[in-house]
Amino acid sequence: MMDETEQIDRIRLFNRAYTRRIGVLDEGLLDSPFSLTEARILFEIATAPDISAGSLGGILDLDAGYLSRTLKKLEQSGLVVASRPAEDGRRRALRLTAAGESAFKALDAASRDAVAGMLGPLGPQNRLRLVAAADTILACLAGSPEPAARLRAHQPGDMGWIIERHGALYAAEYDFDARFEALVAEIAADFLRHFDPARSCCLIAARGDERLGSAMVVDAGDGVAKLRLVLVEPQARGLGLGRLLLEGCLDFARQAGYRRMTLWTNSILTTARQLYETAGFQLVDEAEHSDFGPRLIGQSWTRDL
């Protein structure tokens, strides 16, 4: 578990890396004559014409004196004009001039190009990860509740993720060797080759574009469904996703007309075993093996549907 000192250091590291990446420390933002504060002021006025100086200061959390001096500079440059509405002579309404609009459009285009240039080399999956991480940062800082995960059917690319995450997590947490990842790859490949939506399913627990877990139902013959490849990411454990995935698989198996469900697991997976037992599965057989490196006790569980 990361302690508070390490958490602070990691956030400071991110701050330094990201501000350097987006050029916040450059003399002019995005090779423009404007500072970051000046660019933000132009953006807020452009998106909310006739905004008051007070509202602008509240949005940007700027000292009133500093904001006043910066606005005066922008007015003297012919980019911003202030007027007093007839209905409220005490209020100064801010608006961009034609020159200000032109400057804002150039800044906005440069900002979009800069972000596009940052995203371009990342590839589709890492782009989605970065956007999801940015959304998470904003939600955390705003104190927003974490969005609920939902179940969806598998999509192209999900099987590769299932293989990779099983291989990485079981190696890190239980010291399983490459034979386990090979087994998962075989199961996933067989599922895709023989996929029948009436008899098999693969459920993905997702929050937005972030995959958090998986579970699979396949036809074991003679009216029996087999539960396979149940996984929950470490950061999502304790949220009930294992139960959600299991219930989704049980519901599918019932609707598909199966009369029983079976599964195979290992005794060291205590949380998973507790989940299965709570859901009504019964242990029917166990045997020692070392198929993945360590000495393990494999277990077969079953329950009627």
Alpha helices (H) in the chain, listed in sequence order: 4-21, 36-47, 53-60, 64-76, 98-119, 124-141, 158-174, 178-193, 241-255, 270-278
pLDDT at 146: 66
pLDDT at 225: 97
Query: What are the pLDDT digits (tens) for 21-48?
Result: 887 777 777 888 888 899 999 999 998 8
pLDDT at 85: 67
Tabulate helix, strand, coil % of the chain (nearest 5). 50, 20, 25
Q: Name, of 111-120, 133-142, 215-224, 237-246, the range with top average pLDDT.
A: 215-224
92 burial level (CB within 10 Å; 0-12, 13-18, 19+): middle
Q: What is the CATH number of domain 150-304?
A: 3.40.630.30
pLDDT at 237: 85
pLDDT band for position 202 (50/70/90)? very high
- Position 249 pLDDT exceeds 70: yes
64: tokens are 């009133």
The label of the residue with tokens 């958090």 reads 212
Q: Where in the chain is the domain with CATH 3.40.630.30?
A: 150-304
CA 98 to chain centre: 40
- Position 1 pLDDT exceeds 60: no
Which of residues 224 and 4 earns the better pLDDT score? 224
Cα dihedral 58, 18, 133, 231 in deg (nearest 10) = -150
As a whole number of angstroms, the distance between CA 34 and CA 26 comes to: 10
42 to 57, 167, 194: CA distances (angstroms) = 13, 50, 58
78 to 48, 73, 98, 111: CA distances (angstroms) = 18, 9, 9, 22
Burial 148-181 (b: 16+ CB within 10 A, else e): ebebeebeeebbebbbebbbeebbeeeebeeebb
CATH 1.10.10.10 given to domain 4-122: yes
- Sign of the CA dihedral with 28 first, then 31, 37, and 38 last: positive
The label of the residue with tokens 């007015």 reads 75
Q: Where in the chain is the domain with CATH 1.10.10.10?
A: 4-122
**Is the CB of residue 49 less than 8 Å from the CB of residue 61?**
no
Query: What are the pLDDT digits (tens) for 53-104?
Result: 888 888 888 888 999 999 999 999 999 998 876 666 566 789 999 999 999 9
**Is the CB of residue 260 less than 8 Å from the CB of residue 305?**
yes
CA 300 to chain centre: 34
